[in-house]
Amino acid sequence: MLSKSQAKIFFLGGTIVTFAIFLGLSWHTLSTEVPKNTHEENLTEAVVRGKHLWESNNCMGCHTILGEGAYYAPELTKVYDRRGEGYIKSVLMSSGPWAPRGRKMVAYNMSEEEAQDMVSFFKWIGETDLNGFPPEPDLKQQN
Amino acid sequence: MKYKSQKVAYWFFALAMLLLALQLVYGFIMGFAHMGYDGLHQFIPFNTARAVHTNLLVVWILTGFMGAAYYIIPEEAECELVSTKLAYIQLITLALVGVAAVIGYHFNYWEGRKFLEIPRPLDWLVVINVLTFLGIILATLFKGKKRTTTSLVLTMGLVFAALLYLPGMIWFDNQTMDSFFRWWVVHLWVEGVWELIMGGILAFLLIKITGVDREVIEKWLYIIVGLTFLSGILGTGHHYYYIGTGKMWLIIGGIFSALEPLAFLGMALFALAMYRKGEKRHPNKIALSWTLGTAIVSFVGAGLLGLAHTLPQVNMYTHGTLVTAMHGHMAFWGAYGMIVLAIIAFSMPNLTGRKRYTNNTNVFAFWMSNIGMLGMTVAFGVAGVAQVYLERKVGMDFGDVQQEIQVHFFILILCAVLFTSGIAAYIYEFVKYGKPTDEAIEN
Ligand code: HEM
Ligand code: HEM
Ligand SMILES: [Fe+2]
Residue B76 · residue B150 · CB < 8 Å: yes
> What is the pTM (predicted TM-score) of this model?
0.97
Question: Which tens digit of pLDDT belongs to each residue from B305-324?
Answer: 999 999 999 999 999 999 99
CA distance B368 to B385: 25
Return mean pLDDT, chain B: 97
- Can you give the pLDDT at residue B240? 98
Helix H or strand E encompassing A23:
helix A4-28
- Can you give the pLDDT at residue B279? 84
Closest CA to B383 of B403, B397, B369, B367: B403
A143 pLDDT higher than 60: no
- Can you give the pLDDT at residue A100? 87
Cα A19-A69-A51 angle, rounded to 5 deg:
90
Q: How far is B133 from chain A (nearest CA, A)?
A: 25
Q: Which of A18, A101, A133 sits opposite B229 (nearest CB)?
A: A18
Q: How far is B249 from chain A (nearest CA, A)?
A: 9
CA distance B116 to B96: 17
What is the pLDDT averaged over residues B358-374? 96
Q: Do A61 and B403 touch (CB under 8 A)?
A: no
B96 pLDDT higher than 90: yes
Which chain B residues touch A34 with a CB distance below 8 Å? 174, 176-177, 180, 244-246
The ipTM assigned to this model is 0.96
Which residue out of A58, A80, A121, A136 would a mutagenesis test of the B interface target, given it has the greatest number of B Cβ atoms within 10 Å? A58
- Can you give the pLDDT at residue A140? 79
Question: Which tens digit of pLDDT belongs to each residue from A44-71?
Answer: 999 999 999 999 999 999 999 999 999 9
The domain total for chain B is: 1
CA distance B323 to B308: 10
Which chain A residues touch B178 with a CB distance below 8 Å? 51
A64 secondary structure, DSSP code: E
What is the pLDDT averaged over residues B115-137? 96
- Can you give the pLDDT at residue B174? 97
Which residue out of A103, A108, A125 would a mutagenesis test of the B interface target, given it has the greatest number of B Cβ atoms within 10 Å? A103
A78 secondary structure, DSSP code: T
B356 pLDDT higher than 90: no
Closest CA to B78 of B140, B18, B23: B140
Residues 53-112 of A with CB under 8 A from B: 54-62, 64-75, 97, 100-104, 106
B24 pLDDT higher than 70: yes
Q: Does residue A70's CB lie within 6 angstroms of at least one atom of ligand 2?
A: yes
Question: Which tens digit of pLDDT belongs to each residue from A124-136?
Answer: 999 999 999 999 9
User: Within 13 Å, how many C-alpha atoms sit on residue B271's CB side?
Assistant: 28
Which residue out of B29, B110, B164, B175 would a mutagenesis test of the A interface target, given it has the greatest number of A Cβ atoms within 10 Å? B175
Q: Tell me the C-alpha to C-alpha distance, in Å, between residue A53 and each of A59, A83, A92, A114, B289.
A: 9, 19, 11, 8, 47
Minimum CA–CA partner of A139 in chain B: B394
Minimum CA–CA partner of B107 in chain A: A57
Dist. CA B142 → ligand 1 center (Å) = 35
Read off the pLDDT band of A139 (50, 70, 90).
confident
Read off the pLDDT band of B381 (50, 70, 90).
very high
Which chain A residues touch B226 with a CB distance below 8 Å? 7, 10-11, 14-15
B3 pLDDT higher than 70: yes
Question: Which tens digit of pLDDT belongs to each residue from B85-95?
Answer: 999 999 999 99
Question: Which tens digit of pLDDT belongs to each residue from A82-138?
Answer: 999 999 999 999 998 889 888 999 999 999 999 999 999 999 999 999 999 999 998
Q: Whose CA is nearest to atom 32 of ligand 2?
A: B329
What is the domain range of residue B218? 4-440
- Can you give the pLDDT at residue B74? 97
One-letter amino acid at B37 equals Y
Dist. CA A1 → ligand 3 center (Å) = 31
What is the pLDDT averaged over residues B418-431? 98
Q: Give bridge partners of residue A69 from the DSSP assignment.
A: A64
Minimum CA–CA partner of B241 in chain A: A131
**CATH (domain of B214):** 1.20.210.10
Q: Does residue B325's CB lie within 6 angstroms of at least one atom of ligand 1?
A: no
Read off the pLDDT band of B357 (50, 70, 90).
confident
CA distance B207 to B201: 10
Question: Which tens digit of pLDDT belongs to each residue from B320-341?
Answer: 999 999 999 999 999 999 999 9
Question: Which tens digit of pLDDT belongs to each residue from A13-43?
Answer: 999 999 999 999 999 999 999 999 999 999 9
Q: Does residue B324's CB lie within 6 angstroms of at least one atom of ligand 2?
A: yes
> Which ligand ends up closest to the CA of B312?
1
Using a CB cutoff of 5 Å, list residues around ligand 3, an ion.
Answer: B 187, 191
- Can you give the pLDDT at residue A1? 77
Dist. CA B177 → ligand 1 center (Å) = 19
Quote the radius of gyration of chain B (alpha carbons, Å). 21
- Can you give the pLDDT at residue B275? 95
